[in-house]
Amino acid sequence: MNFAKEVILLSVTFLSLLPVSLKADEGMWLLALIKRLNYVDMQREGLQLTPEEIYSVNHSSLASAIVNFNGYCTGEVVSPEGLIFTNHHCGYEAVAELSTQQNDYLKNGFWAYDKKEELKPTSLFVSFFIRMADVTDRIQAGLTANMSEQARRDKIREFSDQIIRENNGGGKYGVEVQSFFKGNEFYMFVYESYPDVRLAGTPPSSIGKFGGDTDNWEWPRHTGDFSIFRVYGDKGGKPAAYSADNVPLKPKYFLPIDIGGVKSGDFAMILGYPGSTDRYLPSWGVDQLVHISYPAWVEASKSAMDVMRRYMDQNRKTHIDYASSYSQLANYWKNRAEMIKSLTAHQTARKKRKIERRFARWARKKDHIARYGQALNMLKDFYTASNDHAIQQSYLRGIIQPSEMIKTVLGRRTKAFLKNKNYMQQPEAVQKAIRDQIYGRLRELYAKMDMTLEKDLLKKQIALYANRVKPESQFSLLREIQKGGAGSISSYIDDAFAHSLFSSLDRLTAFLQHPDAAELNRDELFALAQNLWKKYHNPPKSYVDKKKERRKGYRLLLSGLRKMYPRKKFYPDANFSPRLTYGKVRRLPRDKRNDAKKNYYTTLKGVIAKYKPGNEEFDLPAKLIKLYKAKDYGRYVDADGSLHVDFLTDNDITGGNSGSPVINGKGQLIGLAFDGNSEAMSGDVQFDKRRQRTIATDIRYVLFVIDKYAGATNLIREMKLVNE
């Protein structure tokens, strides 16, 4: 083989592994760059809008209707009166908070047939995206190649703070400056947040969560994963805290809804707030995930779920109170378990090593070695040295995350208050205002905590941590506790809950009236929480130093890859900034579990086929069954005579995209994205163009449930329905 042919062959092989725009369905694209990078491809795929109709700084656009929902999901405005769709699992925490044993909205659903009936959760917000700007040149002007990583970070923070102050409108807007391509580019994003968001409707869990943990991340799906909220502002349309005088928001734009249905090959784009991907993760990082971090995470999560499930099954109040925490834990537990399988089956680490070998050859060239020659070694050194820390963090997270006592009651906010030496020096009126705010939050927390569950959860999780983490690496208090021998962990926690200020709201309330530092320092639960948080947030210096080198190595790797292939359209990893992904409605190979004629959608017939009376995951409301038997689907019936429930696209999404609108080529809403498929769970690290799918609830099923099942025609009348 001659040299020229060898170079061409290597280039083709390399490019087949890189996360670049080889297919229309790959990539989460920044909205301001759509016109330059993607518009021609999108037109070819079926887009009928202009770039300005998708995102515009000066005019309303599709982007004006897309919201960040409570910081972890996406929603979309669907009416001129501020009505918002998102996923049922995104609104789950708010619905759980509003639920009681007498009004169990999780189990029975909730529908506001008048705006006066809408319910306000304690804390729920949406943020509208206003604009973005490239600030790379401004920040890079203050950086030099020979800066230390800490100096570099300090300078970036200094410039970012300046940019934020210049663009926040005197506090009117939220402004973020975010890093892209591992510190090679920087963009500013401006948002406006609305804190008065109210529940307008949600189906019962037997529709909105149908299939439960069994069907999660699987296809075929039969889930009506949606909830409805409404945004309120003051009479001038500005953000305002909850008030009975607030009025429904008049949005800049809302999405029309297409009830004509979808078919395989239709154009589909998704706008939303994808949370986190690591498509450029090196092979050593993949190995750490597969063999170290995720197995520990899976074991710790399953251990906590078993404890929580036992108490939730015994008491409906406990079930309601812990439903959201359990659901989040179960979601990530299955995600990480499937990630291990997928990354292993797809030999992702081996593919990454091929990329790294080719990069190493390029970096050894005379013109590149001074800048890029050590990039891979920096990454390798970090991951090789951080395995023990990865185990530690995974099992620590397994203690903190499920425990309301540690995570919330004894979280950072409470610690900051209790450790505030200036509190007692404040005027009594100020002290009282602070106490009242703290009391209100504590009353909510304690009303929903099962102390027996919390105690057993800590026993189980700390014992697991003690058995899995090297003794010399454990938090210091645990080493002291275990000097008592077998059963010492259980005894310590029993004693802590028996005597702690924090095991009773009355005790804690009395203490807060006259805080005593000596009494607080003797409290065993407080000491335990202090140790856990300190260990979790204070890694050893050796790890911190290696992490700085990792940041530099990552930055150089991305810079080098982009120089190697300057004509290729690289896309940045997800980081909760607004993005667009586009592709098509697309099937998977035929699945015998699916009743549909083609395996890109499911129908209500398949829902009924899964029905198991009394089963928490597969029970169904009697009225839904009645509507099915009568084939009473109204105007939401498909041309084939069935009611479509969920469908597939090949869009590139991740966590945070939950609730995102699936939009057709005319800019009309056709579905709500809510999940991915287990066959491509490695997608956060390596996109699989053959297997990766987005699972969406068909908008016609959403409207059918609102209209025919719930009879909430008041909500339907607000929306703009089209049939094209």
Q: Which residues are catalytic?
A: 89, 225, 658
Cβ neighbours for 78, distance < 8 A, ≥ 6 positions apart: 65, 84, 85, 254, 255, 257, 669, 718, 719
Contact criterion met (CB below 8 Å) for 653 and 270? yes
Helix H or strand E segment including 648: strand 644-649
What values do phi and psi take at 77, rounded to 5?
Answer: -80, 130
* Cα 168 to Cα 160: distance, rounded to the nearest angstrom: 12
* Cα 440 to Cα 524: distance, rounded to the nearest angstrom: 24
DSSP classification of residue 145: T
Peptide bond into 220 cis (omega under 30): yes
* Cα 516 to Cα 684: distance, rounded to the nearest angstrom: 48
| Exposed e or buried b per residue across 477-512, where buried means at least 16 C-beta atoms within 10 angstroms of its C-beta | bbeebeeeeeeebbebbeebbeebbbbebeebbebb
Contact criterion met (CB below 8 Å) for 326 and 92? no
What values do phi and psi take at 74, rounded to 5?
Answer: -125, 150
Pairing assessment for the beta strands 721-722 and 257-258 based on DSSP bridges: parallel
Cβ neighbours for 298, distance < 8 A, ≥ 6 positions apart: 333, 336, 337, 340
Tokens of 299: 């074991």
* Cα 94 to Cα 96: distance, rounded to the nearest angstrom: 5
Cβ neighbours for 437, distance < 8 A, ≥ 6 positions apart: none
Cβ neighbours for 57, distance < 8 A, ≥ 6 positions apart: 131
Instruction: Give residue 702's identity as a one-letter amino acid code.
Output: V
- DSSP assignment of 669-710 equals EEEEEEEE-GGGGGGGTS--TTT--EEEEEHHHHHHIIIIIT
| Residue 137 C-alpha from the chain's centroid | 30
CA angle 274–277–281, rounded 5-degree value = 170
Whole-number Cα distances in Å, 495 to 455, 489, 518, 523: 10, 10, 18, 10
Whole-number Cα distances in Å, 457 to 312, 335, 546, 616: 13, 22, 34, 23
HEC assignment per residue over 219-277 = CCCCCCCCEEEEEEECCCCCCCCCCCCCEECCCCCCCCEECCCCCCCCEEEEEECCCCC
Per DSSP, the three-state class of 129 is strand
Tokens of 61: 């656009």
Per DSSP, the three-state class of 618 is coil
Task: Please classify residue 472 by burial: count the beta carbons closer than 10 Å to its beta carbon, then call 0-12 exposed, 13-18 middle and 19+ buried.
Answer: exposed
* Cα 681 to Cα 332: distance, rounded to the nearest angstrom: 12
Question: Looking at the DSSP assignment, which residues form a beta bridge with residue 133?
Answer: 188
Contact criterion met (CB below 8 Å) for 453 and 322? yes
CA angle 132–268–653, rounded 5-degree value = 60
